[in-house]
Amino acid sequence: MGKSEGADTAALPTVDSASQIGVPGLPATGWSADHTLAQLEHLRTHDVAWKDGRVFSLAYLVNSEVHDLATEAYRRFSGDNALNVEAFPSLRAMQRDVLEIVGGWLSAPATARGFFTSGGTESILMAMKAARDQFRHDETRRVATPNVVLPTSAHAAFHKAAAYFDIQLRLVPVCSRTWRAEPAAMAHAADENTVMFVASAPQYPHGVVDPVVEIAALAKSRGANCHVDACMGGVTLPYLTRLGVPLPDWNFAVDGVTSMSVDLHKFGYAAKGASVVMYRDARLRSFQGFITDDWLGGVYGSSGMLGTKSGGPIAAAWAVLHHLGDDGYLRVTRAARETTLAIAEAIRHDERLELRAEPDATLLSFGAAPAINADRPAVDIFAVADALATRGWYVDRQAPPPSIHLTVNAVHATTYRAFLDDLAAVLDDVGVPTTSRGVYGTLE
């Protein structure tokens, strides 16, 4: 074969590495694998001990067996790329299986279609983007300045989506007694440019399920979409119903619900990076995707925010769902629910504390009971959180009102008694005011 015109086939010159200026932060000589792993372990010295069941936020665990399985499945497929499942048909098959299972949990109709996403935030972003584009091109409405009506308890990801996609939010206060969305107030906030109403099942701050039936009916009467954010409850609520827990209707069985989001890396106990957004039919889903051939690289299609997607989260979700099975999810949901109720009962019987709401699922929030008199002032609930942290417990702090939030999952069945003992102990000691509110997410 002849040499291409202009090509330089000469070998690269020998470089004396000692004479070169190094890259700041990059070792001049590469580390061994053992040394690198040791440094990783050193870096995590002060991370929260979530595998010990002492963290009521951010991480979810059944036991080491399930976690190790998810980790191994993730490792085996971590380098595979779900951007193009023509090259990786295993990922297509696994996504199809996962979507089928999730559709069953959500009572989705046979027409339903969904996508696997990187998390609840992406699922919510995509549902918002799809609604915007759907009504932007609607032949009868052509909404140029869309708005979404949602309760103030709805997840912050809706705010992020609004900022990304230039959608106005119409925020409506929740009921001051139950913390649930108020459909009548949401109706008042809507207008001809409303493209979506939002409900949560359950909402994160207080763990209660919004009145989905009423909100979906409102959306349908206005010709708008209704998205139910079931990121926290999409896995647990079906099993709680089977366990006899009374719950309002919340899923696709409700007429007017057009899309739903559910996280598998929460109470599905899969590895991080696993969520599903599901639409009632293929037409609604079609507004989520992006496709172009207006560049020199051929057809580019993408279902969500990400282009390249590791196959790891898909494989891990598939593996955990099949490993736990229906009986396993019933078992771990029972454990988490019973633990939630036990914690709620302890809080209910401590006159210094009060539940913000009776938990519908496996989330709960509590704060300080009102002061009785000058000799019995209200407890500083954030000081309680500080004191719990010194004893190795990580809890969410939220406001308003100042509260401690617990995301109770299966692993806490083995640790909650120790948590309640420490909670009782620190309540006797606290008293130093604090203004720390804690954070749900960071910019770093």
Domain of 385: which CATH number? 3.90.1150.10
Kindly tell me if the per-residue pLDDT of 441 is higher than 80.
Answer: no
Position with higher pLDDT, 373 vs 249: 249
| Same-domain pairing of 302 and 333 | no
Task: Give the C-alpha separation, 360 to 136, whole Å.
Answer: 37
Residue at which a domain ends, from 291, 321, 351: 321
305 plus 332 within the same structural domain? no
The Cα–Cα gap between 343 and 409 comes to 12
Whichever domain contains 116, its CATH number is: 3.40.640.10
Asked whether residue 239 falls in the same domain as residue 122, the answer is yes
Residue 287 exposure: Cα atoms within 13 Å on the Cβ side: 23
Mean pLDDT for 390-406 is 95
The structure's pTM equals: 0.91
Question: Are 118 and 224 part of one and the same domain?
Answer: yes
Tokens at 31, concatenated: 């580390």
Confidence of residue 16 (pLDDT cuts 50, 70, 90): low
Quote the strand ranges of 285-391, DSSP E. 290-292, 300-302, 353-355, 363-368
Report the number of distinct structural domains present in the chain: 2
Could you say which of 260, 292, 321 is where a domain stops?
Answer: 321
376: pLDDT strictly greater than 90? no
Show the domain range for 356: 325-426
Mean pLDDT for the stretch of residues 329-340: 98
- Cα gap 246→240, rounded to integer Å: 8
pLDDT at 432 (0 to 100): 44
pLDDT at 246: 96
Residue 85 covered by a domain: yes
Indicate whether 137 belongs to any domain: yes
How are the residues of the chain apportioned to helix, strand and coil, as percentages rounded to the nearest 5?
A: 40, 15, 50
What pLDDT, on a 0 to 100 scale, did the predictor assign at position 377? Answer: 78
For residue 361, being part of any structural domain is answered with yes
Tell me what percent of the residues of the chain surpass a pLDDT of 90: 87
> Are 302 and 409 members of one domain?
no
* CA atoms within 13 Å, Cβ hemisphere of 53: 17
Q: Do 102 and 181 have their domain in common?
A: yes
Phi-psi region at 24: left, alpha or beta (left = phi > 0; alpha = psi -120 to 50): beta
DSSP letter (8 states) at residue 245 = -
Decide if 35 is inside a domain.
no
Q: Are residues 218 and 337 in the same domain?
A: no
Q: Do 103 and 201 lie in a common domain?
A: yes
Q: Which of the 8 DSSP states describes residue 118?
A: S
User: Which of the four pLDDT bands, split at 50, 70 and 90, describes residue 19?
Assistant: low
pLDDT for residue 314 is more than 70 = yes
Beta bridge partners of 169: 148
Q: What 3 state SS string does 43-103 have?
A: HCCCCCCHHHCCECCCCCCCCHHHHHHHHHHHHHHCCCECCCCCCCHHHHHHHHHHHHHHH
Other Cβ atoms less than 10 A from the Cβ of 99: the count is: 18
The answer to whether residue 437 is domain-embedded is no
Average pLDDT, the chain: 93
H helix or E strand, kind and range, residue 137: none
A 10 A CB-CB count for 4 gives: 8
pLDDT tens, 36-57?
Answer: 999 999 999 999 989 999 999 9
Is 57 contained in some domain?
A: no
Counting beta carbons within 10 angstroms of the beta carbon of residue 146, is it exposed (0 to 12), middle (13 to 18) or buried (19 or more)?
A: buried
Q: Which residues contact 77 (CB under 8 A, 6 or more apart)?
A: 90, 91, 310, 311, 312, 314, 315, 316
- Report if residue 21 sits inside a domain: no
Specify whether 341 is located in the same domain as 193.
no
Q: State the CB neighbour count (10 A cutoff) for residue 394.
A: 18
The pLDDT of residue 1 is above 90: no
Whether residue 50 contacts residue 67, with contact meaning beta carbons closer than 8 Å, is answered with no
Q: Angle at Cα 170 formed by Cα 165 and Cα 172, nearest 5°?
A: 140
Same domain for 237 and 313: yes
Determine the pLDDT at residue 177: 94
Task: Please say which residue of 321, 348, 381 terminates a domain.
Answer: 321
378 falls in which pLDDT band (50, 70, 90)? confident
Q: What is the pLDDT of residues 220-238, one digit of tens each?
A: 999 999 999 999 999 999 9
Assess if residue 431 is contained within a domain.
no
AA identity, residue 40: L
The per-residue pLDDT for range 113-156, each reduced to its tens digit, is 999 999 999 999 999 999 999 999 988 889 999 999 999 999 99
173 and 154 assigned to the same domain: yes
272 vs 70: CA distance, rounded Å = 10
Kindly tell me if the per-residue pLDDT of 5 is higher than 60.
Answer: no
Q: Are residues 236 and 369 in the same domain?
A: no
Query: At 405, is the secondary structure helix, strand, or coil?
Result: strand
Q: What is the pLDDT of residues 404-435, one digit of tens each?
A: 999 999 999 999 999 999 999 999 888 544 44
